[in-house]
Structures are given as structure tokens and as C-alpha cells.
């Protein structure tokens, strides 16, 4: 419904495919922000009712559109309702189906055996996710890795320090770190808050911004209060101007317990922000330990404290890691590369070739 990481990747893909001469039809839930953002030159947009995994009506609604349009293939992007139900709809029409998987959590073996039979190819957004699927028995010839992408130029602006401090009510002396993630348990906010309770005693001017919305907001707010961090942590909500915010951060922290890749990491790295993140899922592909950031064991608050202190105390190290992140994003996470990887997989599927290795 919102233009978060996965939806933005679909937007990048549609625009790139349209520029390559592909005719796109986008099916979205009614009220989807993605559907509003896509222009008519990029895709024909159809909004239908999609109420989640139990909305079996998605099958005939999507099947009807597929039968009318007769596409060369169907590419499914959502794991909520559209993956299995969309796969069934495509199977009933005989049209080849591709699924993009963006999460790295293992699935029940029985579900794996049934679910992935629906798809002719599965695209993972990181090699880490691909390895999870292979370890669970999905055939290698069916699984390809095409990494998520970032429009690096969008994040290359300079920091407007006065605007930034005024926007978040911060003093001139503030040093600012941020977490940009949905407010849900698997993003690990509780661990960075535990770390902040120690860090603020060492760095009185340190402030944490938490960007995002989600079901855990009340629990996070309660933890902030119980730790006495009300004046040191700001719940900043969802923002559409992260490209203006990132250049003003001292560093980004991403304490997720599981993560397919993390588009936020790509955005921050593109802005030259050093990163402290969990060593889990596809994160090590975007944050190279000692190169453009530091990795810590997931759920380890003391390790977060140590790594954050290292970057706060060593300005030259932070600068080098920020510059390295910009180079990494341009070389391995370009939008053009992501679009080309998806298009190559489409062609391999329609030509009945095996799946590709990891593409970037």
C-alpha cells in the first residue's frame, strides 16, 4: 500500500522495462500509493481488491485480467496475498510466473514443497536469500539472484544543517544517528535503544532519530520512556525526504534480526553515510564489514555500543567508509543493473534456459 522499499523497487523496474520497450501492466491493491505514482507511459494500472492471504477472491480477479491481456509472463512481487494466490491465478491461465522474494526467513518444509511449484522462476534480491531457498530444497535451476537497486544520484545532495536541526528540534552541538525501518519486532529497535541508554552517558550531545511506522510503536515509545531517553530519541514517523535527511546523519544503524537486503542501507550508503548493521541475511552484501560499515551479531546491544563508538570516535574512518559506500552502490547496486538482470531472467525463462547466477 505504501511506497516502501519493495514497492519502490517495483517502480524502478517498471520504469526501466518501459525504457527498454517492454509493455507493462501493473495490478495493485485499491488505494496503493505505487499505483498512483506510476504514469501511463510506464504501465497500464489496474487496482483490484486484495485483502491478504485469505482473500481467495484474488485468484479469479487476477485470473480474469491475465486472460484478458494474455501477457508473456506474470511477475509477482508481494508475499501478502499475491504470491500464492497470484501463482495459482497464473497457473490456471497457463502463463509463466515469476516470483520476487525479498525476505530471508525460512518457511515450513511442506509450504516450500507446494508453494514454489507454482513459479517457473524465483528471483531473490540478495544471494543470502537465494542460499536460504537452496538450503530448503528449491531447485537451483529455478532460483536466480538479482539484487535490489538504488538511484544513487538522488542521495548525493549536501546537508542543509540549519534546516535539519530546525526540522527535528536539535541543538547545534547534536551528533545524530538514525534507524530507518518499519516499527516491527524483527527490525530490532529495542537493541539500539538499549545501546543508546549507555551511549548517551558517553556522548551527551548524541541523538537518535527513528524513522518509520508500524505495530510496535507503542512498545518502542514505552521503552524510550522507561530508559529515560525521551529527550534523546525522536520518533520521526514516515518521511518522503530521506534524500535530504541522510547527508546530515553521522551514521545509520540497522539492528534488524532478519533482513533480505535492506533498501535503506543502499540509500544511506549512496549518501556517503557509514553504517552499523546486523550480520544477518543479505545485509553483508550491502554493508561490507570494515569497508563501508561495521557488522555486529544480531540482537547484541553491547556490540552495537562498541561499533557506534568506533565510528563516532574516528572521523577519518567514518569518512572513508562513507566514500566507499558511494562507490559500492554505483558499482553493484545500480538501477540499470537491476533492470537488466530481471529482463535477462525473463528472456531466459521464455527461451527455457536455466536460471541465472546472482546478477548485479
Q: What is the DSSP string of 87-140?
A: HHHHHHHT--EEEEE-------HHHHHHHGGG-SEEEESSHHHHHHHHHTT--G
Q: What are phi and psi of 237, to 5 degrees?
A: 70, -170
Residues 248/174, Cβ–Cβ less than 8 Å:
no
Distance CA 171, CA 164 (A): 10
Residue 276 is predicted with a pLDDT of 98
Can you list the domains of the chain with their CATH numbers?
A: 5-149+334-350 (3.40.50.2000), 152-332 (3.40.50.2000)
pLDDT at 260: 86
In terms of Cα–Cα distance, which of 355, 358, 356, 360 is closest to 119? 355
Query: Which stretches of the chain drop beneath a pLDDT of 70?
Result: 79-81, 353-360
Grid coordinates belonging to 123: 528471483
Buried-state track 253-269, b at ≥16 Cβ within 10 A, e below 16: bbbbebbbbbbbbbbbb
The cell 524513522 sits on which residue? Answer: 211
List the grid coordinates of 258. Answer: 532478519
- Nearest 5°: the CA angle 127, 154, 234 is 85
Asked whether 330 and 313 are in contact (CB, 8 A), the reply is no
- pLDDT the model gives residue 319: 97
**257-301 residue pLDDT tens:** 989 888 899 999 999 999 999 999 899 999 999 999 999 999 999
d(CA 91, CA 346): 17
Q: The whole model's pTM is what?
A: 0.84
pLDDT value of position 1: 77
Quote the pLDDT of residue 355: 60
**Nearest CA to 208 among 218, 198, 314, 266?**
198
The sheet with strand 97-101 has its strands ordered as: 74-76, 97-101, 121-124, 143-145
Q: What is the pLDDT of residue 100?
A: 95
Amino acid at each position: 500500500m505504501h511506497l516502501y522499499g519493495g514497492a519502490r523497487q517495483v517502480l524502478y523496474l517498471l520504469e526501466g522495462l518501459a525504457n527498454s520497450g517492454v509493455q507493462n501492466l501493473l495490478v495493485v491493491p485499491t488505494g496503493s500509493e505505487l499505483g498512483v505514482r506510476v504514469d501511463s507511459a510506464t504501465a497500464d494500472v489496474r487496482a483490484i481488491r486484495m485483502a491478504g492471504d485469505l482473500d481467495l477472491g484474488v485468484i479469479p480477479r487476477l485470473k480474469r485480467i491475465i486472460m484478458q491481456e494474455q501477457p508473456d509472463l506474470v511477475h509477482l512481487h508481494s508475499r501478502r496475498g499475491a504470491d500464492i494466490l497470484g501463482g495459482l491465478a497464473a497457473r490456471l491461465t497457463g502463463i509463466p510466473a515469476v516470483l520476487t522474494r525479498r525476505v530471508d526467513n525460512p518457511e515450513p518444509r511442506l509450504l516450500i514443497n507446494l508453494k514454489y511449484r507454482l513459479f517457473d522462476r524465483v528471483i531473490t534480491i540478495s544471494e543470502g536469500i537465494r542460499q536460504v531457498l537452496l538450503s530448503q530444497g528449491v531447485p537451483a535451476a529455478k532460483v536466480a539472484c538479482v539484487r535490489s537497486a538504488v538511484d544513487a544520484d538522488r542521495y548525493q545532495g549536501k546537508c542543509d544543517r540549519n534546516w535539519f536541526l530546525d526540522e527535528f528540534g536539535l541543538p547545534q552541538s547534536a551528533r545524530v544517528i538514525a534507524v530507518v525501518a518499519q516499527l516491527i519486532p524483527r527490525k530490532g529497535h529495542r537493541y539500539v535503544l538499549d545501546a543508546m541508554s549507555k551511549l548517551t552517558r558517553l556522548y551527551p550531545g548524541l541523538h537518535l532519530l527513528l524513522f518509520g511506522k508500524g505495530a510496535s510503536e507503542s512498545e518502542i515509545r514505552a521503552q524510550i520512556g522507561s530508559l529515560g531517553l525521551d529527550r534523546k530519541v525522536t520518533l520521526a514517523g514516515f518521511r518522503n525526504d530521506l534524500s535530504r535527511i541522510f547527508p546530515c546523519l553521522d551514521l545509520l544503524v540497522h539492528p534488524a534480526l532478519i533482513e533480505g537486503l535492506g533498501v535503506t542501507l543502499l540509500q544511506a550508503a549512496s549518501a556517503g553515510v557509514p553504517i552499523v548493521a546486523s550480520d544477518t541475511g543479505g545485509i553483508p552484501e550491502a554493508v561490507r564489514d570494515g569497508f563501508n560499515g561495521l557488522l555486529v551479531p544480531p540482537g547484541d546491544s553491547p556490540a552495537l555500543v562498541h561499533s557506534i563508538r568506533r565510528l563516532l570516535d574516528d572521523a577519518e574512518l567514518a569518512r572513508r567508509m562513507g566514500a566507499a559506500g558511494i562507490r559500492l552502490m554505483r558499482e553493484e547496486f545500480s538501477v540499470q543493473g537491476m533492470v537488466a538482470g530481471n529482463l535477462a531472467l525473463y528472456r531466459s525463462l521464455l527461451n527455457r534456459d536455466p536460471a541465472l547466477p546472482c546478477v548485479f
